[in-house]
Structure 1
C-alpha cells in the first residue's frame, strides 16, 4: 500500500482523483484492512494545514484527539477526552472519529454546536452540513461553528462489552433576535437524536429560573428526545437544568 502525504489542498485533491482512500489516524481502518485487504493507495491529511487548525471556531480533521484543549468549547473538549485510552487519543483523529467510526463520540458535541463541515472532493473544497457529511462521507477537512454561551457533556458509564454508553451533549446559543436557543444531542446505542428549543431572552431577569427550566424541558419532551427511555430522559433533564443555570449566570 502506498501512503500519500499531501501538504496542500491541490495535492490532496489529486490523491482523491487517483482513488486514494482516506486513512485518518488508522485506529479504525487498519484492522479492517488486515482482514479484508489493503487498498493500493491511502491518503493522510496530517501534513495539510487546513486539516490541522485548532481554535477560533474551527477544528481540523487531522487533529489528534489528545490535542483538543481549552481552545474549543467545553462540550467538544470533554467529548474528546473521554474517547478510548490515552494511547488511542494520541493516534485517533477528529475526522476518523466523526466520519469513520460507528460510535462517533464527537458527533453529539458537533451537533449541539450546530457545526458545519468543510470537506474536500475531487472537484475541490466546499462546505456542507453534518447530515450530508455522514450520508455521503466526503473527505472531512474541518468542523466550523459559532461558539455557544455555555455547553455541557455527560457520558454515562456502562459495563464493558455492552452497548455504547449514553451520551448527552448540550449547548445554549445566543440568537440574532436577542434570545437564546438550547441544543441537545443524544447518542442512545447507535442512534443519534438532535433537537433545539427556545430557552429565554438572555436578559438574566427571570425571577423563577426553575419554572423557566420546566417550560424548556416541556418543549424538549415534545420532540424526539421525549421518546427516550426514562433513565435516559433523567440524564437529559439533569444536563439541561445545569446548562440553563450556567447560561442564566452569564
Structure 2
C-alpha cells in the first residue's frame, strides 16, 4: 500500500482523483484490510494545515483524539476523552470517528455546538451540515462552531464490547439579543437525536419544553439523564 500525505487541498484533490482511500488512524479499518486486502493507494490528511487545527472555534479532521484539550469547549473535550483507551485516542482521528464509525462518539458534542463541517468536494472545499456528512460520507476537513456560554457531557459507564453507552451532551448558546438557547443531543444505542429549547426561564420550563420534543419519547433512564444534565448546566447560569 502506498500512502500519500498531501500538504495542500489541491494535492488532496489530486489524490482523490487517483482513487486514494482516505484514512485517519486506521483504527476502524485495519482488521478489514488484513482480512480483505490493503488498498493500493491511501491518503492521510495529517500534513494538511486545514485538517490539523485545534482552536477555540475549530477542529481539524486529522487531529487525533488525545490532542483535543481545553482549547475547545468542554463538551467536545470530554467526548474525545471518553473514547476507547489511551492507545486508541492516540491513533483515532476526529474525521474517522465522525465519518467512519458507527458509534460516532463525537457527534452529540458536535451537534450541541451547532457545528458546521468543511468537506472536500470534487472541485473545492465547501461548508455543509453534519447530517450531510453522516449521510454521504464526505471527506471531512474540519469542524467550526461558535463558542457556547456553557457546555457539558455525560456518558454512562459501559463494558468493552457491549452495547453503546448512553450519552447526553448539552450546550447553551447566546443570540444577538442576549437570549439563551439550550441544545441537547442524546445517543441512545446507535441513534442520535438533537433538540433545543429556550432556557432563560430556568431548568424546569426548559425541561417541560424538551419533553414536548422527541426527547420526551426516550426511555425513562435516558430522560432522567437528560434532566440531570440540563439541571447541572443551567443551575450556574441562573440570574445571569
Gaps of 5+ in 2: none
Partner of 1:37 in structure 2? 37
Partner of 1:209 in structure 2? none
1:217 aligns with 2:204: no
* Paired residue secondary structure (2:164): coil
Partner of 1:162 in structure 2? 162
Aligned 1:108-147 pairs, distance under 5 A? 108-147=108-147
Q: Does the aligned pair in 2 maintain the 1:172–1:247 contact within 8 Å? A: no
Q: Does the aligned pair in 1 maintain the 2:79–2:106 contact within 8 Å? A: yes
Q: Which deviates more from structure 2 when the two are superposed, residues 171-180 or residues 30-39?
A: 30-39
RMSD value over aligned CA atoms?
1.2
Aligned 1:197-208 pairs, distance under 5 A? 197-200=197-200
Measured after TM superposition, the shift of residue 36 of structure 1 is: 2.1
In structure 1, C-alpha distance between the alignment counterparts of 2:106 and 2:37, rounded to whole Å: 28
Measured after TM superposition, the shift of residue 64 of structure 1 is: 0.8
Q: 1:70-98 deviations in whole A, cap 9, x for unaligned?
A: 10000000000111111111111111101
Partner of 2:232 in structure 1? 242
Aligned 1:179-194 pairs, distance under 5 A? 179-194=179-194
Q: Does the aligned pair in 1 maintain the 2:56–2:73 contact within 8 Å? A: no
Partner of 2:24 in structure 1? 24
* Paired residue secondary structure (1:103): coil
Partner of 1:203 in structure 2? none
In structure 2, C-alpha distance between the alignment counterparts of 1:113 and 1:47, rounded to whole Å: 26
1:63 aligns with 2:53: no
Q: 1:174-231 deviations in whole A, cap 9, x for unaligned?
A: 012320100000100000010011111xxxxx7xxxxx21111010011111111101
Partner of 2:50 in structure 1? 50
Q: Does the aligned pair in 1 maintain the 2:5–2:43 contact within 8 Å? A: yes
In structure 1, C-alpha distance between the alignment counterparts of 2:63 and 2:158, rounded to whole Å: 27
Gaps of 5+ in 1: 201-205, 207-211
Partner of 1:101 in structure 2? 101
Q: Does the aligned pair in 2 maintain the 1:174–1:181 contact within 8 Å? A: yes
Partner of 1:171 in structure 2? 171
In structure 1, C-alpha distance between the alignment counterparts of 2:108 and 2:97, rounded to whole Å: 12
* Paired residue secondary structure (1:169): strand
In structure 2, C-alpha distance between the alignment counterparts of 1:237 and 1:244, rounded to whole Å: 11
* Paired residue secondary structure (2:199): strand
Q: Does the aligned pair in 1 maintain the 2:57–2:72 contact within 8 Å? A: yes
In structure 1, C-alpha distance between the alignment counterparts of 2:161 and 2:85, rounded to whole Å: 16
In structure 2, C-alpha distance between the alignment counterparts of 1:44 and 1:16, rounded to whole Å: 11
Number of equivalences: 240
In structure 2, C-alpha distance between the alignment counterparts of 1:59 and 1:28, rounded to whole Å: 21
Partner of 1:75 in structure 2? 75
* Paired residue secondary structure (1:143): strand
In structure 2, C-alpha distance between the alignment counterparts of 1:248 and 1:72, rounded to whole Å: 24
**Under a length normalisation based on structure 1, what TM-score does the superposition of the two structures give?**
0.93
